[in-house]
């Protein structure tokens, strides 16, 4: 690198100190420039994602979905930045109280390889909208997309304002030794722990978008065809390399045979007799991940799939039945096209099994029973819940997206992105019109009054 990480941060702190980023019109201008850059680079983005993940063109356009985030921020920014008046209590009279959102300063955004453009750019929208400077670190594993991101950012923004830094683990380590005003990380739980540990040395706040084993409960009272299609689609887009993909099925045993038949039919409908030759099926990111996933296929009984081709980075859409809770495939997030199936007799048992494990990023329930909807919402904890569908919740800009416990810290999307990259400054403004003496010494005769105020 011609310029050191420390020098980049120094330049950005100097830029932030000018106050330019606090101007709402400046922020809107930068958001519009970002939008124009995404639009003009669409074909490059699609090609890069194809090269990294063999993502079909249709799925590659999911990466361009960050335009929706930009549009939402442009539409709402002027209302987001306004100070919010809040009530005051009687002892403060006469006064007013407001909350002022202000930018944090210089932030670091570390992106993942599975959706290497969208999950890099979407948090950037929040950082710009909130008035920050930003350093982006795209994933070197998806290196074609990393190059596109870095090139697009360099041609769109002053590097003293926003820049992208490419490189491997050594660059990430250099970045994490520096002090930022927030670190936003998307990736696996183990790396998230490393990021949080590094941030703690500087008391830097973190947003961690992680993952986990997102369960999919299937009740007996469902619309079978729609359920099977929605599960198969959510599991096997991007060859299962989606942080909110259904990680495993927990199925009422009365419906399990019919559901497995319907899922198998859906996979065939989506990808044909041989998914390896389908233009609509992606590939595993690299050989290391493929080797890890191939071990999981040894667990349980294969319902469909099971074929692998390391040279093509291919693992067929695979469903595995008769899996135990102690099997290796059930210990960590799968992050690939393998769907284990477990069964339950009683709905209470299903909820208990989920609650015995770390809180997931997403929880899915397929059921027509509204009482079971209420029970899942009331009796489980997860980053988010989607009822009678999978994955689609992530596309709703008005819903905050994030994890809880092991699946993450903090959230973003829409207004939540603005809030993530802002500090809410509390301001109390008093008047000189009156100065009530209840709080001043001597306190004799005032005890009953203070008890009333406090109580």
At residue 90 the predicted structure's pLDDT band, cuts being 50, 70 and 90, is confident
Residue written as token pair 């299937």:
218
Residue 426 CA to its chain's centroid (Å): 28
436 falls within a domain? no
Q: Tell me, yes or no, if 243 is annotated catalytic.
A: yes
Catalytic residue among 59, 69, 209, 343: 209
- pLDDT for 452 equals 86
**Tens digit of each residue's pLDDT (9 = 90 or more) over 23-43:** 999 999 999 999 999 999 999
For residue 11, what are its two tokens? 């330049």
Task: Quote the domain boundaries for residue 221.
Answer: 215-402
For residue 225, what are its two tokens? 């065809």
- pLDDT for 38 equals 97
Residue written as token pair 């400046």:
26
Structural domains in the chain (count): 2
**What percent of the chain is modeled with pLDDT above 70?**
100
**Tens digit of each residue's pLDDT (9 = 90 or more) over 270-302:** 999 999 999 999 999 999 999 999 999 988 899
Q: Whole-prediction pTM value?
A: 0.95
Helix axes 143-156 and 24-40, enclosed angle (nearest 10): 130
Tell me, yes or no, whether 320 and 358 share the same domain.
yes
Span 376-402, average pLDDT: 97
> CB–CB of 180/214 below 8 Å?
no
- pLDDT for 380 equals 98
Tell me, yes or no, whether 184 and 329 share the same domain.
no
Catalytic residue among 59, 178, 216, 243: 243
At residue 436 the predicted structure's pLDDT band, cuts being 50, 70 and 90, is confident
CA dihedral 140, 145, 148, 154 (to 10 degrees): -40
- pLDDT for 2 equals 59
Span 90-95, average pLDDT: 90
Q: What distance separates the 2 farthest-apart alpha carbons in the chain?
A: 89
pLDDT of 1 higher than 70: no
pLDDT of 252 higher than 80: yes
106 falls within a domain? yes
DSSP string covering 218-242, please?
E-SSS-HHHHHHHHHHHHHGGGG--
Q: Tell me, yes or no, if 166 is annotated catalytic.
A: no
* CATH code for the domain of 117: 3.40.605.10
- The 8-class DSSP code of residue 183 comes to E
447 falls within a domain? no
**Tens digit of each residue's pLDDT (9 = 90 or more) over 146-175:** 999 999 999 999 999 999 999 999 999 999
Tell me, yes or no, whether 229 and 293 share the same domain.
yes
Q: State the chain's mean pLDDT as an integer.
A: 96
- pLDDT for 287 equals 96
């Amino acid at each position: 690198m011609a310029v050191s990480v420390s020098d980049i941060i120094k330049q950005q702190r100097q830029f932030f100190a000018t106050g330019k980023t606090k101007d709402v019109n400046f922020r809107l201008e930068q958001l519009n420039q970002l939008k124009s850059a995404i639009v003009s680079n669409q074909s490059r983005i699609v090609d890069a994602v194809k090269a990294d993940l063999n993502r079909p063109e249709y799925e590659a356009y999911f990466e361009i979905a960050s335009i929706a985030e930009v549009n939402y921020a442009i539409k709402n920014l002027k209302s987001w930045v306004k100070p919010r008046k809040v009530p005051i209590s009687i002892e403060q009279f006469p006064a007013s109280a407001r909350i002022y959102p202000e930018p944090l300063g210089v932030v670091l955004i570390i992106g993942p390889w599975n959706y290497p453009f969208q999950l890099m750019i979407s948090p950037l929208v929040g950082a710009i909208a909130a008035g920050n400077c930003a350093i982006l670190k795209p994933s070197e594993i998806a290196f074609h997309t990393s190059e596109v991101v870095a090139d697009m950012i360099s041609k769109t923004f002053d590097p003293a304002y926003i820049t992208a830094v490419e490189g491997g683990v050594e660059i990430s380590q250099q970045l994490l030794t520096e002090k930022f005003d927030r670190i936003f990380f998307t990736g696996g739980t183990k790396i998230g722990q490393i990021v949080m540990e590094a941030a703690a040395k500087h008391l830097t706040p973190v947003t961690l978008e992680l993952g986990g084993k997102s369960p999919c409960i299937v009740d007996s009272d469902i619309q079978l065809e729609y359920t099977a299609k929605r599960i198969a689609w959510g599991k096997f887009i991007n060859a299962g390399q989606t942080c909110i993909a259904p990680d495993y099925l927990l199925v009422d045993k009365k419906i399990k045979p019919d559901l497995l038949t319907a899922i198998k039919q859906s996979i065939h409908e989506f990808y044909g007799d041989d998914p390896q030759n389908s233009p609509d099926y992606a590939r595993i990111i690299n050989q290391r991940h493929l080797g890890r996933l191939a071990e999981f296929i040894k667990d349980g009984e294969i319902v469909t799939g099971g074929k692998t081709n390391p040279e093509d980075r291919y693992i067929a859409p695979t469903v595995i039945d008769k899996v135990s809770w102690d099997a290796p495939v059930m210990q960590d997030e799968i992050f690939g096209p393998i769907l284990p199936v477990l069964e339950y007799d009683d709905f209470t048992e299903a909820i208990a099994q989920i609650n015995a494990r770390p809180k997931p990023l997403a929880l899915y329930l397929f059921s027509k029973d509204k009482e079971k909807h209420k029970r899942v919402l009331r009796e489980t904890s997860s980053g988010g819940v989607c009822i009678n569908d999978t994955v689609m919740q992530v596309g709703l800009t008005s819903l905050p997206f994030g994890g809880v416990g092991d699946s993450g810290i903090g959230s973003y999307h829409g207004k939540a992105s603005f809030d993530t990259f802002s500090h809410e400054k509390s301001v109390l403004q008093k008047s000189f019109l009156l100065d009530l003496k209840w709080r001043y010494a001597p306190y004799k005769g005032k005890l009953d009054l203070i008890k009333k105020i406090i109580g």
